[in-house]
Amino acid sequence: MKFLKHLFLLFMCLISSIFLCMKIFDDILVRITVSEYSYLIVRVFLTLLLYYLILSIKNKQVRKYKIHIVFLIYLICILTLTFFKGAYGDGVAGINLNPLEIINDFNLSSNTLLLLLGNLFLYIPIGIYIRYILNISSVKLFLGIIIYCIIIESIQYITKLGIFDINDIILNSCGFIIGVLIYEKIRRICANSTKGINKNNTFNMKRYTETKKG
């Protein structure tokens, strides 16, 4: 019976995912990629994400392994959008080391702003996750994401699945840094909240002890 409930929930999440994609995300994806793999991966990711969120709310807990699974699926989505752009990327190879070249892109395509925002925002969750699992200095994290972006851009160039673009490296790195900063901010807020609760508990316990003695 429990299995059937989970199966039904998963099915409803799939229906919701398809609906969300048809109404919202497909209009965005069609401007970025024509690859069928991208549409499939996004639907699978949304399905599992909705399923995970519903279970977490129901059980009032977030398990660490589920976070890793969601991130892995998200990373697959990112790599799919990066390497399988279909007609927009197949057979294309080139190098752009001039950040100001983005000005010409605005004149050539009306989708340039969407692509720029996509490159920025897609890496924010990655920054949050990496900061969450790795307790290393911010400098090492930044160097790591720079190396990662360079490797991704190099693979695109070598395999002719895209252009080695300095702007992609800059935007992806900025998105990553924003994610790290968001995580640090959330962690500080949570730490201050915990201190406040502990301080109140200590104060109340002290008053209770003094009252009892009196």
pLDDT tens digit sequence for 17-37: 887 777 667 766 666 665 667
Same domain, 85 and 108: no
> What was the pLDDT predicted at 10?
86
Same domain, 77 and 104: no
Higher pLDDT, residue 50 or 197: 50
pLDDT tens digit sequence for 60-94: 676 777 788 888 888 887 887 777 665 455 556 67
Same domain, 80 and 124: no
> Residue 160 in 3-state DSSP?
coil
Burial class (CB in 10 A: 0-12, 13-18, 19+), 10: middle
β-pair partners for 163: 94
Length of the chain: 214
Same domain, 45 and 131: no
Same domain, 85 and 170: no
Band (202; pLDDT cuts 50, 70, 90) = low
Q: Among 48, 71, 90, which residue terminates a domain?
A: 90
Band (169; pLDDT cuts 50, 70, 90) = very high
Same domain, 101 and 199: yes
Q: How far apart are CA 212 and CA 198, in angstroms?
A: 21
Q: Among 71, 90, 109, which residue terminates a domain?
A: 90
Same domain, 173 and 200: yes
How many independent structural domains does the chain possess?
2
The mean pLDDT value for 185-192 works out to: 83
The mean pLDDT value for 182-208 works out to: 68
pTM (two decimals): 0.69
Q: What is the mean pLDDT of the chain?
A: 78
pLDDT tens digit sequence for 119-149: 888 888 889 889 988 888 888 888 999 999 9
Higher pLDDT, residue 59 or 32: 59
The mean pLDDT value for 197-214 works out to: 53
Same domain, 189 and 147: yes
Same domain, 77 and 138: no
- Quote the domain boundaries for residue 133: 93-214
